[in-house]
Amino acid sequence: QSALTQPASVSGSPGQSITISCTGTSSDVGGYNSVSWYQQHPGKAPKLMIYDVTNRPSGVSSRFSGSKSGGTASLTISGLQAEDDADYYCSSYTTSSTLVFGGGTKVTVL
């Protein structure tokens, strides 16, 4: 199972909105509404930000939102803040009953 494709880096200024894409196939992203997004700060464990494409766990800011179109999922961060500077990973359930991750995107707040 190949990793999902994410851009290596995305940047934006405070207050702006950015979008991170996560591209897969019909065997993963395109076949299920089972995409999650994780935020990871240096030296820390990943934190679940979005699950099942659009749902936010309790305590996660409403500035984070998810969507999906065909085989590509997206994470949008609105009102970018300094604390959003981190790595972001997508994941998806697959037809092999496994979980596959994206390669990660470094978000830089300018």
Partner 1 sequence: QVQLQESGPGLVQPSQTLSLTCSVSGDSISSGGYYWNWIRQYPGKGLEWIGYIHYRGSTYHNPSLKSRATISVDTSKNQFSLKLKSVTAADTAVYYCARGGTIQSWWSLGYWGQGNLVTVSS
Using CB under 8 A, list all residues that contact partner 1. Answer: 1, 3, 34, 36, 38, 44-48, 51-52, 57, 87, 89, 91-93, 96-101, 103-104
3-class DSSP assignment, residue 61: coil
User: Judged by CB, which is closer to partner 1: 74, or 91?
Assistant: 91
Rounded to whole angstroms, the Cα distance separating 110 from 3 reads 28
Pick the closest to residue 50 from 33, 38, 32, 62 (CA basis): 38
User: 13 or 97: whose CB is closer to partner 1?
Assistant: 97
What's the closest the beta carbon of residue 98 comes to partner 1, in angstroms?
6
- Measured from the Cβ of residue 109, the count of other Cβ atoms closer than 10 Å reads 18
User: Shortest distance, CB of residue 15 to partner 1, whole angstroms?
Assistant: 28
Q: How far is the CB of 74 from partner 1 (least distance, A)?
A: 18
According to DSSP, residue 5 is labeled B
* Comparison of 65 and 92: residue with beta carbon closer to partner 1: 92
Please answer whether residues 81 and 68 qualify as being in contact, where contact means their C-beta atoms are separated by less than 8 angstroms: no
Read off the tokens for 33: 């509404």
Quote the least distance from Cβ 20 to partner 1, whole Å: 15
